[in-house]
Chains A and B, each alone.
Chain A
Amino acid sequence: EVQLVESGGGLVQPGGSLRLSCTASGLTFRTYDMNWVRQPPGRGLEWVSYISTSGSTTDYADSVKGRFTISRDNGKNSLYLDMNSLRAEDSAVYFCATAASYFYDMNGYPTFDNWGQGTLVTVSS
C-alpha cells in the first residue's frame, strides 16, 4: 500500500521559517516526480511546487517563488519543503503528491495519483 506521510507543520510567526517533510512508502520513490499542493482553510487547492525524480528540475508557484525551496532525498524516500519569510496567506494544509503519467490513446497524461493526509501550517502572531 502506498503511503505518503507529511510532517513538520505547526504555528509560526510571520517572517518565520518552517520545514515540511513527506516520507513515502509502498512505492519506488526515486521514480516519481513529486509536488506540494496547499489548501487554505475552507478554500480550494493550489499547486505550490514541483521536483523531478532526480531533483535536477524544480518549479514554484509565483506566490512562493524566492521564499520556498523544494528538495528530495531518494535514499531516505523523502520530500521536503523549506518555507521562509512566511506570511499569513501561507496558512494552509500542505499536501505532498506523486505525479505519474497514465497512458491513454498512446499519450501519457500526468496525474496526481497518490496524496498524503496533509500537514497544517498556521502563520500568525
Chain B
Amino acid sequence: DVQMTQSPSSLSASVGDRVTISCRASQSVRSFLNWYQQKPGKAPKLLIYAASSLQSGVPSRFSGSGSGTDFTLTISSLQPEDFATYYCQQSFSIPRYTFGPGTKVDIK
C-alpha cells in the first residue's frame, strides 16, 4: 500500500500569514493527490484534487502543487475560518485511498 506522510504535524500561525503544508507519498502517485480540510466535529471537505485543481467554491488563497511523491498545500493569507486540520489523500492506488496523518493549523 502507498503510505502518506505530512509535515509538520501541527503549526501555529497568525491571520494573514502564508502557510505551507507538505505531503509525501511512499511511491509515485503522479498527480493523484487530494487535499481535505476538517474542522472539529465536522466531516472533511474537499479543497484540491489532481494535486493542484481547486474544488468549486474553495477560496483562491488555497493552492496545491507537486507531482510524483512530493506535494504542497499553500494558504496564501490565512483567514480565521482556515484554522482546521488538513489531510492529503492519494487516489492513485485505488480503491485503497490512503490518507496522510494530518496537519493541524491553530492560532498563534
User: Do A and B belong to a common assembly?
Assistant: yes
A residues contacting B by CB (< 8 A) are 33, 35, 37, 44-47, 50, 57, 59, 61-62, 95, 99, 102, 104-105, 107, 109-113, 115-118
Would A110 and B53 count as touching, CB distance under 8 A?
A: no
Contacts of B63 in A (CB 8 A): none
Q: How far is the CA of A77 from the CA of B31 in the complex (A)?
A: 32
Minimum C-beta distance from B21 to chain A (A)? 14
The answer to whether B43 touches A115 (Cβ under 8 A) is: yes
- Residues A110 and B43 in contact, CB atoms below 8 Å apart: no
15 residue pairs from A and B, CB less than 8 Å apart: A35-B95, A44-B99, A45-B36, A45-B38, A45-B87, A45-B102, A50-B95, A57-B95, A107-B31, A110-B91, A111-B49, A111-B91, A113-B55, A115-B45, A117-B42
The interface residues of chain B, by DSSP majority, are classed as loop
The interface of chain B, by Cβ under 8 A from chain A, is: 1, 31-32, 34, 36, 38, 42-46, 49-50, 53, 55, 87, 89, 91, 94-102
The prevalent SS among residues of A at the interface is strand
Q: Which residues of A contact B102 (CB under 8 A)?
A: 44-45
Alpha-carbon separation in the docked complex, A50 to B93 (Å): 13
Asked if B43 and A47 make an inter-chain contact with CB atoms under 8 angstroms apart, the answer reads no
